[in-house]
Amino acid sequence: MQQLSLSAPTGQRPARIALGIAGIVALALVLGWFLLQLEPAAPRKAAPLETPSAANGLHDAVHFDTTYEVVPVADGEPLNVKGFAHGHAFTYSDDEWAEVACQLSKERVREITEAPDWRFELDDIDILPGAVHIVSEEAFEEWYPGYDDATAYDPSYAAEDVRIVLVDVSISNHGDTAADARYLYLTSAKFKAPAQGGPAIVYPADAALQAIYGVPDDKAPFKTLPEGWDAIEPGESRTLTLPFIVYRNELVGRDAIDRLSAADFELLTYRCDPLTVYTMPLRQKSPHAAARFTRPIMG
């Protein structure tokens, strides 16, 4: 009787050996992948986030070259701005306006250049900065809850990367028409220099102004500034609180924001003809003003 052989035919043995080796290799790869998944992942570093920037150059507000003058105002002395020239005419150089005007009709050029805001002079107004206090956004929001409504977005910066500089400014109107708080900016030697040259400036923050002086608006989810919110009538004097937002990356030195004081800042205004910048030193915060914030004052 023929016996049944348990061994494979000679021609099939190499193929089966190769299949077996391939199976073992595949199993090893699967086990290796599985073990890698069990290894604790290396901690990821948080992506660095640049804080927003509120600083601009004065170049963005008015055309100028390097021939402007800076006039420091003595501490405690009001600045009278009577006759200071302003207007859209000063946002162009002569060459820039000539290029724009040649693309417009003569009638349109006349309409623009004869409009009241093309060139005008400020009235007899005194400006005097007073108390200053530097607070965190949380402290500001505690006193002005509407600030959170006016900034209803998720910021990409940490609370320690921003300060609000509140400057009380007394404005006295000795003229014949209503005045307002235009052309007042925050500047500092600690701000990074603008690429276009000239002083770096920060405008009053709209959202913070809305929180301070805004009124409820049925058409908006937050308070809005009413017309004439900053009006100073003839013969009237008012003290307005102007809020300026300063971010960490606007300052020279990564830790500069942690050591800010009122003495680091100045209130800035300017006249356009001739272009002259006026800087007014700021005082330390008033203890009475600071007392209204229960959260820590930052500087």
Same domain, 141 and 70: yes
pTM of the model: 0.75
Per-residue pLDDT, 107: 96
Task: Tell me, yes or no, whether 14 lies in a domain.
Answer: no
Task: Tell me, yes or no, whether 295 lies in a domain.
Answer: no
Same domain, 285 and 157: yes
Same domain, 183 and 101: no
| CATH number for 186 | 2.60.40.1240
Would you write out the chain's pLDDT as a tens digit for each of its 299 residues? 433 332 344 444 444 544 455 555 455 555 555 555 544 444 333 334 455 556 677 766 676 666 789 999 999 999 999 999 999 999 888 899 999 999 999 999 999 999 999 999 999 999 999 999 999 988 998 988 878 665 544 455 667 789 999 999 999 999 999 999 889 999 999 999 887 778 899 999 988 999 999 988 887 777 889 999 999 999 999 999 999 999 998 999 889 999 999 999 999 999 999 899 999 999 865 544 444 544 444 44
Per-residue pLDDT, 7: 37
Per-residue pLDDT, 20: 53
Per-residue pLDDT, 59: 62
Per-residue pLDDT, 135: 94
As a whole number of angstroms, the distance between CA 199 and CA 191 comes to 9
Q: 120 Cβ partners below 8 Å, 6+ apart?
A: 85, 86, 87
Per-residue pLDDT, 6: 29
Token duo for residue 185: 């900016």
Question: Measuring CA to CA, how many Å separate 239 from each of 43, 60, 130, 132, 297?
Answer: 52, 27, 9, 12, 21
Write out the residue range of the structural domain in which residue 186 sits.
55-84+122-290
Same domain, 247 and 115: no
Task: Tell me, yes or no, whether 108 lies in a domain.
Answer: yes
User: How large is the C-alpha radius of gyration of the chain?
Assistant: 33
Per-residue pLDDT, 193: 87
Per-residue pLDDT, 4: 31
Same domain, 99 and 192: no
Same domain, 280 and 193: yes
